[in-house]
A = this chain, B = another copy of it.
């Protein structure tokens, strides 16, 4: 198929498709003549994956490109692809160096130790966790920070199920795609469910008035 049909089938404008091609998110079609290319179902799939990562998962175009490059690269292990996807999802902050950070670092290190996690400070989550804890500390959110173990326990369960569900010795490319969509979209799903659970928990405690949400006001 040519670009027009690809556009129709995926509901992505021709201009956007060209943009993704230029940015290297979508591999070029096969040229049948110097200025005529053919696209196939793989392009349709890829385009849908891009939309899912960007629209639903909230990745930037650059983040999506990195993740997709890992999917395409035969050299990249499933384990490394997982890290790549995490990198793309996590917002990086430049490190500060104060008391709050020192305390936060200690809290994270102790938690990891306590739970026996096999992870290291090079994991992007580690730094982010420290940053968040430090911010909570600075702002008097110690009550929330005190839930570190509750959060960690919940994520431990989630991660075990996810890894078990996603990893499966099939064709490598499909498996990596699953890992990547799992990391990115799973994160969005977790955030969504947390919102619902929170409303529910608050309602239980207050006999809940009108439901929150529904846009601006």
When the two chains form their complex, are residues B135 and A199 in contact, meaning their CB atoms are under 8 A apart?
Answer: no
Residue of B nearest to A111 (CB): B193
> Is A80's CB within 8 Å of the partner chain B?
yes
The complex places the Cα of A144 from the Cα of B56 at a distance, in Å, of: 15
When the two chains form their complex, are residues A203 and B155 in contact, meaning their CB atoms are under 8 A apart?
Answer: no
Q: Which residues of B contact A89 (CB under 8 A)?
A: 191, 195
When the two chains form their complex, are residues A187 and B194 in contact, meaning their CB atoms are under 8 A apart?
Answer: yes
Interface residues on A, range: 35 or more
Interface SS of A by simple majority: helix
Could you give, for residues 167-190 of chain A, a 1 whenever the CB lies within 8 Å of some chain B CB and a 0 otherwise? 110000010011001110111111
Q: List A residues 130-165 near B (Cβ within 8 Å).
A: 131-133, 135-136, 138-141, 143-144, 146-148, 150-165
> Is A37's CB within 8 Å of the partner chain B?
no
> Is A93's CB within 8 Å of the partner chain B?
yes
The complex places the Cα of A136 from the Cα of B158 at a distance, in Å, of: 17
When the two chains form their complex, are residues B197 and A138 in contact, meaning their CB atoms are under 8 A apart?
Answer: no
- Which of B86, B143, B165, B194 is within 8 Å of A125, CB to CB? B194
When the two chains form their complex, are residues B112 and A143 in contact, meaning their CB atoms are under 8 A apart?
Answer: no
When the two chains form their complex, are residues A119 and B194 in contact, meaning their CB atoms are under 8 A apart?
Answer: no
When the two chains form their complex, are residues A144 and B181 in contact, meaning their CB atoms are under 8 A apart?
Answer: yes
| A-B CB proximity, top 5 nearest | A83-B212, A125-B195, A159-B197, A128-B192, A125-B192
Q: Show the binding face of A for B, using Cβ within 8 Å.
A: 45, 48-49, 52, 55-56, 58, 66, 77-80, 82-84, 86-87, 89-91, 93, 112, 117-120, 122-126, 128-129, 131-133, 135-136, 138-141, 143-144, 146-148, 150-168, 174, 177-178, 181-183, 185-206, 208-216
